[in-house]
Amino acid sequence: MKPPFPVQAPSWVNEFKSFIMRGNVVDLAVGIIIGAAFTGIVNSLVKDVFTPVIGLLTGGVDFTNVFITLKGPTEATLEAAQKVGAVTINVGLFLNAVIQFAIVAFAIFWLVKVLNRFKRKEEEKAKEEAPPVPPRNEVLLEEIRDAIRQRPFGS
């Protein structure tokens, strides 16, 4: 059923549609979705592969229980201090986060390095397959020649 009066969408609706359908916005959305999925892979790589190896190399050093009690009873572990309501500065958790960040950054560095190598090989292959572009002066000379051929004889 048609409304009794014409309904016109606000002007920003069309502007929003054109904005959201621009290529870079769609590419960004795809990148975010893939990045979120990739986060699980990287977290597993850090937690399940790198962290046990680093723990083995450092003799099982765990920074989790390195903390400073500001207020409340001093306890042996961070979990026990938090249970009794102590106010703590969690230095060890921060160090663990920094170490995890460094491992993730290192893993991403190598992943990007490998992907760039594949991309470079593809670009080199495409460059080999593409016909060589003639120099600009040759193109101009060919255009002049073609223009002379199209003129009627004797003019």
Domain containing 26: what range? 15-57
- 51 and 121, same domain (yes or no): no
- 139 and 71, same domain (yes or no): yes
Answer yes or no: pTM beyond 0.85. no
- 131 and 70, same domain (yes or no): yes
- 82 and 45, same domain (yes or no): no
Per-residue pLDDT tens for 123-148?
Answer: 888 777 777 888 999 989 999 999 88
CA torsion 72→73→79→82, rounded to 10°?
Answer: -20
| Count of the separate structural domains present in the chain | 2
CA distance 38 to 27: 16
- 72 and 107, same domain (yes or no): yes
- 92 and 116, same domain (yes or no): yes
- 47 and 73, same domain (yes or no): no
- Asked if residue 9 is part of any domain, the answer here is no
Asked whether the predicted pLDDT for residue 31 surpasses 80, the reply is yes
- 68 and 88, same domain (yes or no): yes
Per-residue pLDDT tens for 79-101?
Answer: 999 999 999 999 988 988 888 88
- 93 and 26, same domain (yes or no): no
Most confident of 8-12, 87-91, 103-107, 150-154: 87-91
Asked whether the predicted pLDDT for residue 1 surpasses 70, the reply is no
Q: Tell me which residue of 64, 100, 97 sits closest to 82, measured CA to CA.
A: 64
Percent of the chain with pLDDT over 90: 17
Number of H helices, E strands in the chain: 6, 2
- 29 and 86, same domain (yes or no): no
71: enclosing H helix or E strand: strand 68-71
- 83 and 141, same domain (yes or no): yes
Q: Is the dihedral of CA 135, 139, 145, 148 positive or negative?
A: negative
Query: What would the two tokens of residue 91 be?
Result: 């230095």
Q: What is the pLDDT of residue 8?
A: 79
Asked whether the predicted pLDDT for residue 51 surpasses 90, the reply is no
- 39 and 101, same domain (yes or no): no
Q: What is the pLDDT of residue 6?
A: 73
